[in-house]
Structure 1
Amino acid sequence: MNLARLISDKFSGNENIIIGGSGNISSDEGLNSVLLAITSEKIFSNYRGKNPLDGSHLCYRTYLLGSQVVLYSLNDKKILKAFPSTTKKTFIDGDDKEACKNSTVSLNLHKARFADILWGSDFAKIGVGSDFTSNYNSANLETSGMLQEQMEKILTLKNIFAKGNQPIGVRQVSVSEYANNQLTGKGDFSPHQDYISNNGLNLKELKEWLGAEFSKWLTQDLKISIVPFYEGEGLTLNIGTTFSNSAEALNLKKPELSYGFDYVLRGFRKVDVGETQTQKGSVWSVYSGIKFGVVLGEEPEDIKTLATIPFTQSTAEQYNKTDIINDWDNFDETTQVGIREISQNLIKQNKNWMKESSEISSKEFRNFAKTILSKVGYEK
């Protein structure tokens, strides 16, 4: 599975596209470069008991893969534009509780499952052999895969050497103490299986996932590049993982934002809404909000707020009582739906969503949306 060869072949006709950070060529016009990086690779194994229908063990293994297309300045290593993508894919294995660990799965199977996310394929379900990498070639790339999605972003990246306007991005992501307690199992739910470690809640990963989702939808709907949220100074990459042969580290700095979006996660709630002898209905709600304003500095309070929009997103599902339901999977999905909806409603307000989810009046929402669109230079 030679990602370097596949990607270099894809862009061999464009000398302005550089994959990796070693031996970059640049243009006198702007001294900018672009790379495609894998920024996150995580596996979560979670035992969920036995299937009530046949008694088989249910070991859920979730694979999380994050990548970014990053346009950056070669001179000062500042990020100019970034396009994040994060995908989760869950596989159900038959391992018992003792064997439901990451280490009990062969390394080749782990690799194949991550490759399936990149390629948009399902080869790993068939099984893996010593030559499994032969499945992953340019002919088998699917449009639903992360790799094709990100390569298309590179191909359509306009003004690659232009300096452009001051960057706009996701400035802060915050998690309330109430939500933190819920995520760590101190509330009504068990700990979140994807973000809990022996040291407690992994806030960095959670925030960067939320920030990536938020910037992805804002970029798509506002038709401008929204710099994603970075915890700390910026993005540090081992160039060996960005499809080149170098082992050096590339430290990319967060840009100085002109305008910024903040996202706050406030809490979660589940309500059962109906029950029969065999079925049950539930509603999962996520309380969150966004803020937009002029960025004055690096600290959380360094913003001149121009718009504040709190909202509650809910999703409902009816399921069999024998089904294995994971509340956090539903909350994660609801969070993603809410981020997508708030972004789309900035452009065109949906009356039903405004009535059910927005916590401010329609007039206030329209005024805030108008302010945001004006400041970011949105054009239909």
Structure 2
Amino acid sequence: MRSLTAKIFLSFFLFLSIDIYSEEAITWGGYTISAKSKDKDLFPNFNALKEKMAPMQYQLVEAMDKPYLLSPRGLASTGQTKSIVVAFDKERITGGKLGDVCLWQYTITAQVILFELEGMNVLQTHPVGRSRNYVEQDVSSCTTEKRDKERDRFRFCQIFLGLETDENYSKAEVQNNCNNITLINSGNGLMKEIGHVVSNLGISEKKNIRFAGIGNISITDRARAILSGKEDFISHPFFTNESGFDEQSYKDWISQYIAKTISSTLSVPLVVPFAGSVGGKVQLKYSDGTAIDLTLPELDYSFDIAIRGFAKSLMDETPKREAWVYGSYITMDFGGLISKQSSKVKNGYVLETVKGDFINDWREFDNSIKELVKEYAKQIEKTERKWIPQQTNMKYKEGKRYFEYIKETLEQVK
């Protein structure tokens, strides 16, 4: 009996040993940004926060269950063939005076990148990011120059940590809910979003690697005119600078949001255009100053997106309330280099409000696009009979084939 027990224990021990040592070791490169000197000033708040956030990020990822072993860069043993970095590609604060208030939008985005250490070729990219709006009643400092820069850092800190205590802003609040915070007290912020993506990366070898992502983003003349402040609308406050409507920033937001939504819904890596890339390469810089050049993948399949327009209409009203419909209209093409399948999609986002209340039309148009993209991703996962004829220019059978083609194709890039 003792001999049998010993054999069972030995077999179990060997099984665990084989399982442990069969896990591939991956190097953790941590947080990076573009290595171009001209881009350094584009991340002032990230640069101020990274010394606190980067170690917390590794602590979080290390504690999570993963299908691989993770070793910090510099401390890794020999044998690693792949590495993971979180490459931050945009930090942005936009907005200003809107009506009788000051409205600011804070945005920070990144890409979780898995790449080969030998050839420095990118194997997977997963977009991550957060955006948060803040309303201030004091309009006396409602300019980029007068905005409180310390509060900017605090707000980005809370975006990382998933906390929302800005209404209590003070020096003590900065200490309590940013500088001295620990993972135990953090919420569901950008840090945990990154941790979820990193811990769920599939790192197994593939014989035939294919890539899908966001290709061309275009804006029709009419949509550009509306976004720029024509047809009784103001210029989009979150994508407007001193020169007017910032078309590239708007395209970046569209591509990031669509890629992130489809990627998270279908658990598939999608490549988005990387700011600062030249000739299919991007140079990133580690926290210790070391620069690396990564080769970005060429897309086998892509989503090409055309923003066609926007419309606002009154759906219903009573003596005290109103219901407005915010329409957004997009064309989504998907396929390879030779041929693509196309669909026009639309959405009517309904906002109910008290008569006379101020409405930020562009926030509602953004909500309309977000709702449309979420529903579009759900159709790829499982097509709904009613949604296709109501929200696209296709009949059900045609639309079903369109979404099935996308789903089957994306299975090849997992």
TM-score (normalizing by structure 2): 0.77
Aligned residue number for residue 269 of structure 2: 225
Is 1:114 aligned with 2:156? yes
CA distance in 1, matches of 2:150, 2:118: 39
In the TM superposition, residue 113 of structure 1 has moved relative to its aligned partner by 0.8
Q: What is the aligned residue count?
A: 356
Render the CA deviation track for 1:238-282: whole Å, top value 9, x for unaligned: 53xxxx532354444431111222122111111112233322221
Q: Is the 8 A contact 1:32 1:71 kept in 2?
A: yes
Q: Which moved more, 1:4-13 or 1:340-349?
A: 4-13
Q: Is the 8 A contact 2:57 2:191 kept in 1?
A: no
Give, in whole Å, the separation in 1 of the partners of 2:71 and 2:92: 26
**Are positions 1:174 and 2:218 aligned together?**
yes
> In the alignment, does 2:378 pair up with 1:329?
no
Please give the residue correspondences for 1:29-48 in structure 2 after superposition, counting only pairs within 5 Å: 31-48=81-98
Q: Which has the larger radius of gyration?
A: 2
Separation (CA, whole Å) in 2 of partners of 1:113 and 1:349: 39
Which of 163, 167, 184 is matched with 1:139 structurally? 184
Comparing 327-336 with 85-94, greater Cα deviation is found at 85-94
Q: Secondary structure at the match of 2:131?
A: strand
> How many Å separate the matches in 1 of 2:300 and 2:75?
29
Q: Give the superposition deviation at 1:25.
A: 5.2
Q: Which runs of 5+ in 1 are unaligned?
A: 51-57, 295-302
The corresponding residue for 2:193 is 149
Alpha carbons of 1:40 and 1:269: their partners in 2 closer, same or farther (altered >3 Å)? same
> Sequence identity of aligned pairs in percent?
22
Distance 1:221 1:201 in 2: 31
Matched, 1:188 2:232: yes
In structure 2, how many angstroms separate the alpha carbons of the residues matched to 1:204 and 1:379?
27
Q: CA deviation at 1:200?
A: 3.3
> 1:252-271 maps to which residues of 2 (within 5 A)?
252-271=294-313
Separation in 2, partners of 1:136, 1:189: 42
- How far residue 290 of structure 1 moved from its aligned partner, in angstroms, is 0.9
Matching of residue 9 in structure 1 with residue 68 in structure 2: no
Counterpart position of 2:33:
none
How far residue 310 of structure 1 moved from its aligned partner, in angstroms, is 0.8
Is the contact between residue 290 and residue 308 of structure 1 (CA under 8 Å) also seen in structure 2? yes
Q: Is the 8 A contact 1:46 1:59 kept in 2?
A: yes
Tell me the distance in 2 between the aligned counterparts of 1:9 and 1:222: 27
Cα contact 1:108–1:128 (8 A) shared by 2: no
Specify the code of the residue in structure 1 equivalent to 2:159: I
Which structure is higher in helix share?
A: 2
Residue number in structure 2 paired with 1:359 = 393
Matching residue's letter, 2:358: I
CA distance in 2, matches of 1:107, 1:354: 47
Aligned partners of 2:374, 2:367: CA distance in 1, in Å? 11
Stretch deviating more after TM superposition (31-40 or 145-154): 31-40
Unaligned residue ranges in structure 2 (runs of 5+): 1-48
Per-residue CA shift, 1:74-133, capped at 9, x if unaligned? 34443321111232211221212x421233333221111111111111133221316353
- SS of the equivalent of 1:351 reads coil
Matched, 1:104 2:164: no
| Deviation at residue 42 of structure 1 after TM alignment | 1.2
Partner of 2:334: 292
**1:197-254 per-position Cα deviation (integer Å, ceiling 9, x unaligned):** 2333322221221111111222223332121234653675653xxxx53235444443
* Gap change, CA 1:274 and 1:27, over 3 Å in 2: farther
1:201 aligns with 2:235: no
> Following TM superposition, by how much is the alpha carbon of 1:283 offset from its aligned partner in structure 2, in angstroms?
0.4
Matching residue within 336, 343, 356 for 2:377: 343
Residues 283, 250 of structure 1: alpha-carbon distance in 2 compared, 3 angstrom cutoff: farther
CA contact (8 A) 1:24 1:33 kept: no
Q: What letter matches 2:344 in structure 1?
A: P
* Aligned partners of 2:211 and 2:413 also within 8 Å: no
Q: Could you say what the CA RMSD is over the residues aligned between the two structures, in angstroms?
A: 2.8
TM-score by structure 1 length? 0.84
Structure 1: which amino acid aligns with 2:182? N
Distance 1:68 1:259, change over 3 A: same
The 3 A distance-change label for structure 1 pair 184 and 271 is same
Task: Please name the residue that 1:310 is paired with.
Answer: 344
Amino acid at match of 1:339: V
